[in-house]
Structure 1
């Protein structure tokens, strides 16, 4: 807490300005507050993408951050290292590593697997689609598995997962702090050397170590009737509970501010739901075909309601539209 009368120093303002969106924010700070003149020159890395003009202002950077493939790359001045934030395949990462650069988003692709085989290196953060697997080892470093990653993996027999949470009839749940799930291929016979024991789940308690629920995490879990989501959850991915046709009740943590696209699509047994007061957006199809939903109280901060949001909610008898909503899209109800 900042006490009354205290002023931000140079170190504090550098920390704050790291989160600025554009070069204009940096310029306005130095123009508006004289004692912060020279703030840009104190940076030894670029907190925003640069162009020819802004590069001249960040004159002392030594580590150049590349946020997008389309970013202009500079290698002049004192720059001696790069940090790459967009997704790269593993083989490209190895090339960048040889140059002394850092890669923050490494994907294991089909070409990587053909070259480096089935054991996924610990540096890898996500998996692309695979079809010719017979066995695979998934390390704890994996925080994302692309949609349909193991679809049509008809030869996959064995899987090793370092951070296994739970195996249900439809899913393998894994990883912290983001809970992600894998649809179980029909051919899969063993997990971690043991015969796969598929069982229905009708109640699921998410560990408090989890902070995010990945896209499609519980999608198609047709036996799930109730789920307890801890207050540690700050984000729920799109289609997270899509087609959970038996889901009767669910609690949404208070820190959630967006109901993602298709989040509760076709949750046909859901009768009511309490949305947190911080929610500002309801995504496309978020409650479409929730045929048992009778009423919903939309929080006052909501300013956007997506297309088909409540389409085919045939039991809905009461709904309020917040004052911040200026338009209702096509097929909203």
Structure 2
């Protein structure tokens, strides 16, 4: 079965270098003109390769340092690297598309605590020390929560974590002193360093079997924590992860948990 023009064009969309496009047209005569059929650039371009893609109408910017062209028939840009929500709004006004939108602390201060549905990630310390925050609904579009994102949200009582998240980072919910319970989805595989440290009101937590790592001081000083399950899937316990924890004595009976988990450095 021979590949047709459409099939080879789809295949060449996954090429990584302009040389691959050139070699295809040199090596197989009937595929000459394949580059000209593209109305967008499937790879980053420079001044040389730009001349080969003569019919581009939509220009894709894959990396922040990519060379940008506004010549020819180009009327729209698609930005693939991470941009702030405020940048996305400006690009949207120009008719451009942003594929990787981050809601930063600056964005939150300007646009509020409701996370827009277009957002793909929450930036470093996005809601840090937001005392007015009592609950938060993270949209399913979000796949990444930055380190320290909700650190110090002392009034936060409930939070919805979507299954699109696969890791809870460093100090993510540290010092959320009003948080009483949290549902960790099965998509999560790692709970980061100090993630729930000093969550004094946290009473129970269900750790799903998808979790294989608990970070240093993860549940340290969770003095009200009386119910926590430890699935057999966990292969890495961080130092002090249960130090000064409310269920420390009960957990110490579990021979799978290393003694280092109950030590404290500070």
CA RMSD between the two structures? 3.4
- Residue 14 (structure 1) aligns with: 9
Tell me if 1:105 matches 2:94: no
CA distance in 1, matches of 2:181, 2:115: 15
- Residue 227 (structure 1) aligns with: 233
Structure with the greater relative contact order (CA < 8 A, sep ≥ 6): 1 or 2?
A: 2
Tell me if 1:143 matches 2:143: yes
1:35 to 26, 30, 34: 30
- Deviation by residue 1:251-282 (Cα, 9 ceiling, x = unmatched): xxxxxxxxxxxxxxxxx969xxxxxxxxxxxx
2:176 to 184, 187, 208: 187
- Residue 208 (structure 2) aligns with: 204
Structure 2: where are the runs of 5+ without partners? Answer: 183-200, 220-228, 242-254, 258-266
CA distance in 1, matches of 2:208, 2:77: 43
1:156 to 154, 157, 170: 154
- Residue 319 (structure 1) aligns with: none
Distance 1:190 1:242, change over 3 A: closer
Q: TM-score, normalised by structure 1?
A: 0.56
Q: TM-score, normalised by structure 2?
A: 0.68
- Residue 21 (structure 2) aligns with: 26
| 31-40 vs 140-149, greater mean Cα deviation | 140-149
Q: SS of the counterpart of 1:187? A: coil
Distance 1:181 1:71, change over 3 A: same
Contact 2:62/2:80 (CA < 8 Å) preserved in 1?
A: yes
Deviation at 1:186, TM superposition (A): 2.7
Report the number of matched residues. Answer: 211
2:130 to 124, 133, 137: 133
Q: Which runs of 4+ in 1 moved over 3 A?
A: 190-193, 216-225
The structure with the greater share of residues assigned to helix is: 2
Structure 1: where are the runs of 5+ without partners? Answer: 1-5, 165-173, 207-212, 229-239, 247-267, 271-333
Deviation at 1:245, TM superposition (A): 9.2
Distance 1:241 1:53, change over 3 A: farther
- Residue 41 (structure 2) aligns with: 46
